[in-house]
Structure 1
């Protein structure tokens, strides 16, 4: 999350509208996870581009699903670290 917050600030100051994931400090309940997944898909629907913050090239299961959703929706997907 620190890298996401820093990048969101940098992009925001450059004039971009930034939609970031919700920072869930503790593991969400299954209901909260479903809500967050739906929220993230809605943010992807609103986006022109998706920038994946993936330190060291790592992409987790949820993020991989969001990447697939974004690509299926025709969104450009870029990564902070090459995979």
Structure 2
């Protein structure tokens, strides 16, 4: 199967404090027939404690999701870009992935 034979794959990036916004973007893209890769843990939004080791593993996993994606969509209400998201944007750009934003930055 070639890229032309499958739906577009988009990786959602952004602060996990924007869990509701990410879920809505995921829903809209999914209804548009797009395969969505997104964070699976929303520690900032839920208050779930995450160890430094878990954070490092989740960050590395998200970079692999970017590797799989055709493009990256940054969910950034109010133009907010945190440190982890900035790192993901730089990673995506270095890999030649198009990056777009839900809000002007």
Which category describes the TM-score, using the shorter chain as reference length? over 0.9
Select the structure that is richer in strand: 2
Match of 1:55 among 50, 53, 77: 77
Number of aligned residue pairs: 83
Whose radius of gyration is greater, 1 or 2? 2
Distance 1:28 1:47 in 2: 26
Question: 2:94 aligned with 1:76, yes or no?
Answer: no
Match of 2:11 in 1: none
- Structure 1 unaligned blocks of 5 or more: none
Structural RMSD (CA)? 0.9
- Structure 2 unaligned blocks of 5 or more: 1-18
TM-score by length of 2: 0.76
Over 4 Å off, 4+ runs? none
Structure scoring higher RCO (CA < 8 A, sep ≥ 6) equals 2
Match of 2:16 in 1: none
Distance 2:91 2:36 in 1: 18
Question: 2:89 aligned with 1:67, yes or no?
Answer: yes
